[in-house]
Amino acid sequence: MRHFSKFALAALICLLASTWAEAAEKLRPSGTVEIVQRQAGYYLTLGSGKGVLHIGGRNYPFKIAGLGFGGTGFASIKAKGTVYNLKSRRQFAGRYTATRTGFVVGKTSRGKMSLKNANGVQLELTVERSGLMLTFGVDDLTITMK
């Protein structure tokens, strides 16, 4: 039994190491993004706003809106971060699944947001909020280029 436990532990370590290596390999920085958004919710959250995609020395404005689950309160959001795996700006627009965590009380806030679309484009954002909100949930967001 002891031998089996060591084998299972070694197999688990190898699996985790290969998953981390694969995840790190897949994320290629392509540019940066800035988003300004307002969110409101009581379990269901609604959000809309605008942003700018920065790639190849150019700026591309866009709109963002969506519906999510897991949050209560109201907040204004400023998010900045890195865009990964974007081969063409045409891959940027579309539907994204987002996960978010954070809180805000007045101007004190912490938060992160991760978005991914069907093209493999991923956004990893640091979020600053103002208002009164506790958030931990999943969103379905749509980005449209202006």
pLDDT score of 20: 43
HEC-encoded secondary structure of 62-126? EEEEEEEEEEEEEEEEEEEEEEECCCCHHHCCEEEEEEEEEEEEECEEEEEEEEEECCCCEEEEE
Instruction: Tell me what pLDDT residue 19 has.
Output: 41
Predicted confidence at residue 36, as pLDDT, reads 97
CB neighbours of residue 79 within 10 Å: 23
Report the pLDDT value the prediction gives residue 106, as an integer from 0 to 100: 80
Stated as kind and residue range, the H or E segment containing 33 is strand 29-55
- Which residues of the chain, if any, have pLDDT below 70? 1-25
CB–CB of 40/46 below 8 Å?
yes
The residue assigned the tokens 């709109």 is 63
pLDDT of residue 109: 86
Q: What's residue 14's pLDDT?
A: 43
